[in-house]
Amino acid sequence: MDLFQQLISELNLPKISYVKNELLLQQSTPINSLLFCQDADLTIFHINEHGKEFILGVDTNYSGPLGEMEFFQRKPYSTLNVKANKAGYLYKIPKLKLLELLREKPELTILLLEFISTRYNKNITKLMNNITLSARINVIEQILELKQHSNNPLFKIPVTLKAKQLGITDRCYRQILQVLEKENKLIKQGHEFELLDEKALKDEVLYTEVDR
C-alpha cells in the first residue's frame, strides 16, 4: 500500500467527485485541505497580472497530492490553477487531521517529504529546460513526443496548447514549424504533420544536451 492509500485508509476519507473542466485549485484562493487525486488528467496553468495564461504542465493518469507546497505554508494560498481534463474523484484531508496523523506516525512524514521533494525536482527540471533551452529545441522535443505517442505517420500539433506550455506565442511556434518545413524535416498535410527527417531532429536535441 503506497503513502496515499495509507493516508486515505487511516483517516477513512470519503470520495469527492468532480466534473470535467472543474478547477480543483484556483490561483490566489486559500488551500484549507490537502487534495489527493487518483488517475487524474490535469492541466496546471498560471495567469499573470496582464491576464495572459501560461500552461505549466499537463499530467495524465496522475495519482498524488495537489497544492502540497502551499498547504504547509503559514498562509496557504494557491499559486496556480489546476483544471480537470476529465471527470474523476479526489480526497480532502484537513490540515489538523493530517498533522495529527503525521505526529502519530512519523514514518509517513518521511514518505510524504520524499514524494514532495521528488515532484518538486521534476517540476524544477522541466522549468529550467524551458528557460535554458531555445524555443526551437523545446518545440522539437514536443514534436518528437507527439510523434512517439501517435500510431500513424501523420499527427496533429495543438499549437496554442503547446505554445502556452513553453510560454511563447502561437506566432513564434508557427514560425518554428515553418522553418522546420523549409529545412525538409517536417511537412504539413492538411491539419496534420509528418516527420521527414526524424533522425536529424533527434540529433539536434542530443547535441544541444551534450553542449550543456
Radius of gyration in angstroms for the set of CA atoms belonging to the chain, rounded to a whole number: 20
Residue 86 CB neighbour total at 10 angstroms: 13
Residue 131 pLDDT grade (very low, low, confident, very high; cuts 50, 70, 90):
low
Question: How many whole angstroms separate alpha carbon 69 and alpha carbon 90?
Answer: 18
Domains of the chain: 3-131 (2.60.120.10), 133-211 (1.10.10.10)
Question: Model confidence over 1-41: pLDDT tens digits?
Answer: 577 778 888 888 899 999 999 999 999 999 988 899 989 99
DSSP letter for each residue of 109-131: HHHHHHHHHHHHHHHHHHHHHHH
Q: Residue 161 has what pLDDT?
A: 87
Question: How many whole angstroms separate alpha carbon 139 and alpha carbon 120?
Answer: 23
Q: Residue 211 has what pLDDT?
A: 52
Question: How many whole angstroms separate alpha carbon 66 and alpha carbon 25?
Answer: 8
Q: What is the mean pLDDT of the chain?
A: 87
Question: Model confidence over 32-80: pLDDT tens digits?
Answer: 888 999 899 999 988 888 888 888 878 888 988 898 888 888 888 998 9
